[in-house]
Amino acid sequence: MGSELGLDANSKAELNLTPVSIWWVCWTGIWTAVVGLGMVFLVIHRNSTPLRLRGIGLSLSAVILLHLYWITVQLGLLIGPLAPGNAEFWIMGTLLPCGIALFHASNSRFIHVANLQKRYTRPNSRLVGLPYGNTVFEPKGSKGLADRFRRLDYTTKSLITVGFAMLLQIFLTTLMYIISRKWHSSWGIPGTEIHGTAMEQKTEMGRGWEWWPGVFWQFFWSWIVAPVVLWKSRDIHDTHGWRVQTIGCAVARICLSIVSIEIFTVLLPCWEVYRHQSLRQETLDLIAEWESKPKSNPDIKSLKSATATVESMMSGSVKTDHSDESVMTMPALEYVLDRDPASLQNFSALHDFSGENIAFLTSVAQWKSSIQDPSDVEDEEDLKEMLQERFTSALSIYVEFVSPHAEFPINLCFQELAKLENIFEEPARTIYGDEPEINQIAPFDIPSFSRLPSAMSSDGSEKEIRITSSVLRDRVWYWGDVPEEFTNCGLGANVFDEAVRAVKYLVLTNTWPRFVRSQSTTSRLPGITGSGCDVELARAQHVK
Do 243 and 306 belong together in one domain? no
DSSP 8-class letter at 332:
H
In a domain, 55, yes or no: yes
300 and 205: one domain?
A: no
Tally of structural domains, the chain: 2
Phi and psi torsions of 390, nearest 5°: -60, -45
Task: Say how far apart CA 319 and CA 80 lie, in whole Å.
Answer: 63
- Of 248, 276, 304, the position where a domain reaches its end is 276
Which of 276, 302, 327 is where one domain is finished? 276
Q: What residues contact residue 311 under an 8 Å CB cut-off, 6+ apart?
A: none
Q: Are residues 303 and 409 in the same domain?
A: yes
The mean per-residue pLDDT over the stretch 348-372 comes to 88
535 versus 301: the higher-pLDDT residue is 301
201 pLDDT above the threshold of 60? yes
Task: Give the end of a domain, one of 276, 307, 324.
Answer: 276
Domain shared by 322 and 229, yes or no: no
Q: What does the pLDDT look like over 420-469, one tens digit per residue? A: 998 888 888 877 765 444 444 444 443 333 333 333 343 333 333 333 44
| Same structural domain, 200 and 304 | no
Residue 355 counted as domain residue = yes
Whether residues 378 and 493 fall in one domain:
yes
Least confident of 280-289, 311-320, 374-383: 311-320
Phi and psi torsions of 427, nearest 5°: -60, -35
Containing structural domain, residue 305: 293-539
Of 244-248, 269-273, 418-422, 498-502, the poorest mean pLDDT is in: 244-248
Say if 381 falls within a structural domain. yes
Is the pTM higher than 0.85? The answer reads no
Asked whether residue 445 falls in the same domain as residue 308, the answer is yes
Tens-place pLDDT, residues 523-543? 443 443 344 344 333 333 333
Q: Does one domain contain both 207 and 266?
A: yes
- Integer Cα distance of 133 and 113 in angstroms: 21
Half-sphere exposure of 104 (CA within 13 A, CB side): 29
- Asked whether residue 345 is domain-assigned, the answer is yes
Q: What is the structure's pLDDT at 41?
A: 96
Q: Is residue 39 part of a domain?
A: yes
Which residue type is seen at 192?
T
**Residue 261 domain-assigned (yes or no):** yes
Inside any domain, residue 300: yes
Spatial contact of 519 and 320, defined as CB atoms under 8 Å apart: yes
State the CB neighbour count (10 A cutoff) for residue 83.
19
CA–CA gap between residue 257 and residue 24 (Å, rounded): 15
Question: CA 467 to CA 129: how far, in whole Å?
Answer: 9
Best CA proximity match to 403, nearest among 368, 367, 438, 354: 438
61 secondary structure, DSSP code: H
Residue type at 272 in one-letter notation: E
How far apart CA 307 and CA 17 sit, in angstroms, is: 71
Are 329 and 443 contained in the same domain? yes
Contacts 24+ apart (CB under 8 A), 197-203: 197/9, 198/13, 199/7, 199/8, 199/9, 199/10, 199/11, 199/13, 199/81, 200/9, 201/85, 202/1, 202/2, 202/7, 202/85, 203/2, 203/3, 203/7, 203/8, 203/9
Same domain, 419 and 473: yes
Q: Verify that 246 and 368 share a domain, yes or no.
A: no
Closest CA to 503 of 305, 333, 260, 270: 333
Whether pLDDT at 64 is above 70 = yes
Same domain (yes/no): 392, 259: no
- 135 lies in some domain: no
Nearest residue to 49 (alpha-carbon basis) of 352, 431, 502: 352
